[in-house]
Structure formats: structure tokens, C-alpha cells
Structure 1
């Protein structure tokens, strides 16, 4: 007779918390590049799969980032502030790049769940 799994179901995390955990996983796996110059270098060397920014990034920095790497890698704004992300980076950082393909897909999915990524269908309205 087969055993039944009596383990309680895990509570579903809020989308922002799931994104935070995905970014933390990237950091622990050594696949997270932090800081404007380091992210720019990773993009130019084709090591970055995804670039994310904190929600409170300055408009000028975001403009510089899009100019520098916008043609190379997709740049998305996370619904997380630099203060929240400081627990991961150990200091306030506004620009992050994921250098692992599978972890970039995980972060992309979490960004989609948060509503940070607009689909083409949403933009046509």
C-alpha cells in the first residue's frame, strides 16, 4: 500500500517575497553581479542574461544603464527598494545582473508574477 504524503502544504509567498528569494538565491550561487560598472562589464562580455534595477534607482542612472546595455540585455525594474535589497548585497545597490541562464529565467518568472514585466498583449490596450 502506498503511503500518503501528510506534509502540510507550503504557504504561497507574496510575489515580491518570491522575487527577493530568487535574487538571494542568485547571490548564494555566485551568479549575481552588483553595481553599475560591474553589470556594464558583464553585459559587454556577454556574461549577463538579465539586468534588474531597484525601484528607487535614480532616473539618470536608469537612463545611463539603458544607454550602455539596453541593446545587449533586457533591463527590468524590480518592485524592491535598495534598502530591502541591502540585506542581500550588504550595502545599497541599485543595479544587478544575473549571470546564470536558469537563475535568470527564475528571476524573469518572478518579475512577471510581480507585474514588473509588461506583455505585448498588455501594451496594446
Structure 2
């Protein structure tokens, strides 16, 4: 039995019916350098040739800027597989990729403290 909205790719009892590496045709390295925080957005261009169901889901999801990590979570795929799918769409011009906003030091103590302070205010 499939969960609502998941289509034939997921089964409640068995889990994922298609192994993640088959979704990317066995490829493990994306052709475009993507960070988990890279922002992707659909360009409106239609990819030529066959696009799998995951590619179509990504295009539906990326009407606004969406980070790689969020797309991977939505697709329920490992980040490495998701990056390969995203690189396919970037290569054909259907997506644009923007690197994360911080280039210098993502583990900068002041940045991490500001994030922690913001989270504390939200709780």
C-alpha cells in the first residue's frame, strides 16, 4: 500500500521500492558543485528528453529559491543522489544554482552565535 501522494515509489510496509542509486542511474558525483545550502530555482525552461518523477518533483518545488538540503528531505533521498538530480536540471538549463550566502567561514563563531540567539528567541 502506498502512502497518499507518494505514488508507486514508496510502500508503507517495504519502504522505498526503488534504490536511491537507481534514481541517479548509478551516478554518484554531480557535474555541478553544490553545497547543502546552495539555493536552486526553476528557470521556466523545459528539459529536453525524459525526466524522471524526481526531476519533475524538483521542478514543482523550485518555484522560489530552495536549498539542496530541503529538496533532499522532500524527495526522501540522500543528499548525494539529490545533488546528481539537481545537476542534471542545472546542466539542461531548467534550474539555476546560487552558492550559499557565506563564502568566508561557515563555522564563524559570531555567525553561529547569531543563529543560536535567533533560535532561542523563536522558542
Give me the TM-score of the superposition, normalised by structure 1: 0.24
Larger helix share, 1 or 2: 1
Give me the TM-score of the superposition, normalised by structure 2: 0.24
